[in-house]
Amino acid sequence: MDALPGFLIAAVALAGSPGPATLSLAAAGAAFGARGGMTYLAGIVVGMVAVMAIVASGMVGLLLAVPGVAPVVAILAALYFLWLAWRIATAPPLSEEGVRREAPTFAAGLLLSLVNPKGYVAMAALYSGFTLLPDRLGADVALKLVVLTLVIAAVNVAWLLAGAALTRFFRDPRTNRLINLVFAAALVASVALAFAI
């Protein structure tokens, strides 16, 4: 357990840094409030638990070893993130009456986690870079899963609340449009950076 403090610092840094999940959560919080983004947040956290299981099992390495799979997966993920950025950029202001505003769903959060390259890279670094319980592989993997799930949930709640603090700015159509465009551009930039790694 000597490695736990370093593991926690790395986990907070990797999970809490700006990326597709955190930026889209902030955008959801800004557009729909903290309560409106909770279902989306739950999908992201459950998706990250699945990503951890996939990384820990070695399935990612096996899948990407199949010729031609990596580019197809990358293209599909990029298309999903571009669609998400477009939805953020074109979301109507809160003040527009009669406009139906649907908060992002659990399924959207789950899918975002499953196609997020930053999530796989971060989990691979954390799972391979730290040993919390030497000589106890199963317990080590389980402890990492529990600790990481708690860290991911906490930092994602923080991003959602930070976004929710911007909700009042979404009542002005010009400010709303500007914030939407900034979040959308930041999402596209974070995806481009994740794919460049």
> Which amino acid, residue 94?
L
Give the list of residues 6+ apart from residue 175 with CB closer than 8 angstroms, or none.
169
User: Burial letters for 100-137: b for 16+ Cβ neighbours within 10 Å, e otherwise?
Assistant: eeebbebebbbbbbbbbbbbbbbbbebbeebebbeeee
In this model, does residue 92 exceed pLDDT 60? yes
Give the list of residues 6+ apart from residue 67 with CB closer than 8 angstroms, or none.
none
pLDDT class of 177 with cuts at 50, 70, 90: confident
In this model, does residue 98 exceed pLDDT 50? no
Tens of pLDDT, residue by residue over 112-157, are 999 888 888 888 888 888 889 988 888 988 999 999 999 999 999 9
Token pair listed for 127: 């799972």
pLDDT, position 194: 60
In this model, does residue 195 exceed pLDDT 70? no
In this model, does residue 39 exceed pLDDT 70? yes
pLDDT, position 146: 95
String of DSSP letters for 82-150: HHHHHHHHTPPPTT-TT----PPPHHHHHHHHHH-HHHHHHHHHHHHH--SSTT-HHHHHHHHHHHHHH
Per-domain residue ranges of the chain: 4-196
